[in-house]
C-alpha cells in the first residue's frame, strides 16, 4: 500500500460517508527517533475492513489497525501513542525503533 494522494483520500472519505459509513483517517502527528513514516502520512480504515494508504508498514500498522477498528465502533476520535522497541523492530527485520503519535479521526456520515 503506497502513499495516497490527498485529493483521492478525501474523495474516498466523502464517498464512504455518502454511503452512510464511518471512516477512520489515521494521521501521523508526531514522530521521535527512527520511524518508518513521515509526519503527515495518512491511512484510511473503512467499516468493511479495507484500508488505503500507509502509516508505516509492519512496525506499527497492526496496532493501528486494532485501534482503528475500535474507533470505528466507538465513534471516538483520539490521539494514540505507539512505540516500537528495538527488539520488536529486529524481529520484523525492519529498521524502526522510534515512537509515533497517530491521530485516529472518525469521519461520520451526515445525519
Q: What residues make contact with another protein under the rule CB under 8 A?
A: 3, 5-7, 10-11, 13-14, 17, 27-30, 38-40, 76-79, 101, 103, 105-110
Nearest distance from C-beta of residue 93 to another protein, angstroms: 25
Task: Let me know: does 68 contact 26? Beta carbons within 8 Å.
Answer: yes
61-67: Cβ within 8 A, 24+ apart: 64/26, 64/102, 64/104, 67/104
Least distance between another protein and beta carbon 31 (Å): 10
Which residue is associated with the grid cell 466507538? 74
Give 79 or 95: the residue with its C-beta nearer to another protein.
79
Give the separation between CA 8 and CA 69, rounded to whole angstroms.
22
Nearest residue (CB) to another protein, 40 versus 57: 40
Give the alpha-carbon dihedral of 63, 66, 72, 77, to 10 degrees: -30
State the minimum distance, in angstroms, from the CB of residue 101 to another protein: 7
Closest to another protein by CB, 34 or 77: 77
In the chain, the largest separation of any two C-alpha atoms, in whole Å, equals 46
Minimum CB distance to another protein smaller for 17 or for 83: 17
Q: Could you tell me the smallest distance in angstroms from the CB atom of residue 81 to another protein?
A: 10
Amino acid at each position: 500500500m503506497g502513499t495516497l494522494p490527498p485529493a483521492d483520500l478525501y474523495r474516498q472519505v466523502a464517498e464512504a460517508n455518502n454511503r452512510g459509513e464511518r471512516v477512520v483517517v489515521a494521521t501521523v502527528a508526531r514522530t521521535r527517533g527512527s520511524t518508518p513514516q513521515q509526519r503527515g502520512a495518512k491511512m484510511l480504515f473503512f467499516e468493511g475492513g479495507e484500508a488505503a494508504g500507509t502509516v508505516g508498514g509492519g512496525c506499527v500498522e497492526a496496532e493501528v489497525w486494532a485501534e482503528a477498528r475500535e474507533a470505528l465502533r466507538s465513534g471516538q476520535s483520539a490521539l494514540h501513542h505507539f512505540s516500537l522497541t528495538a527488539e520488536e523492530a529486529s524481529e520484523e527485520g525492519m529498521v524502526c525503533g522510534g515512537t509515533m503519535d497517530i491521530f485516529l479521526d472518525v469521519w461520520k456520515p451526515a445525519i
